[in-house]
Structure 1
Amino acid sequence: MMKVEVIDNVCVSCGMCIDTCPDVFEWGNDDKAVAKVPEVPSGMEALAHEAVDGCPTSAIKEE
């Protein structure tokens, strides 16, 4: 199962990951993106990979 984590101090709040994969990413309390699920749901892996690859600051860590 795929897991993702947003590195808070690297995220620039662009929202690309949330736009790409809203089932996995959302806005956190500090207006930075966060992973809203502990594991990427089945069938969402491709979109989660797209969000990881598209992050302009490489703030999303894939496990």
Structure 2
Amino acid sequence: MHTDTRIEIDRDVCIGAGQCALAAPKVFAQDDDGFSTLLPGREEGGGDPMVREAARACPVSAITVAER
């Protein structure tokens, strides 16, 4: 599924709460330091309908889902 969105994680804001990985585990993971990261090839979300929910679930609003 093609998508016209771009996902960005502000690593300076992320606190590693992990809500994104719980909401959209096919798109987000936590790195070795516990901070949010995108799984390889998922910068556009891969059409996952939970990407926006993951961004809303972030307690510090570190995730941006932008339309291109």
TM-score > 0.5 by shorter chain: yes
Q: CA RMSD in A?
A: 1.2
Partner in structure 1 of residue 10 of structure 2: 7
Pick from 28, 35, 41: which aligns with 2:46?
A: 41
Measured after TM superposition, the shift of residue 28 of structure 1 is 2.1
Percent identical residues:
28
Q: How does 1:20-59 map to 2 (within 5 A)?
A: 20-36=23-39, 37-42=42-47, 44=48, 46-59=49-62
Give distance in 2, aligned partners of 1:35 and 1:50. Answer: 15
Bigger Cα Rg? 2
Give distance in 2, aligned partners of 1:53 and 1:41. Answer: 18
Aligned-partner residue type, residue 17 of structure 1: C
Q: Which runs of 5+ in 1 are unaligned?
A: none
Give distance in 2, aligned partners of 1:30 and 1:5. Answer: 18
For the residue of structure 2 that corresponds to 1:3, the secondary structure is strand
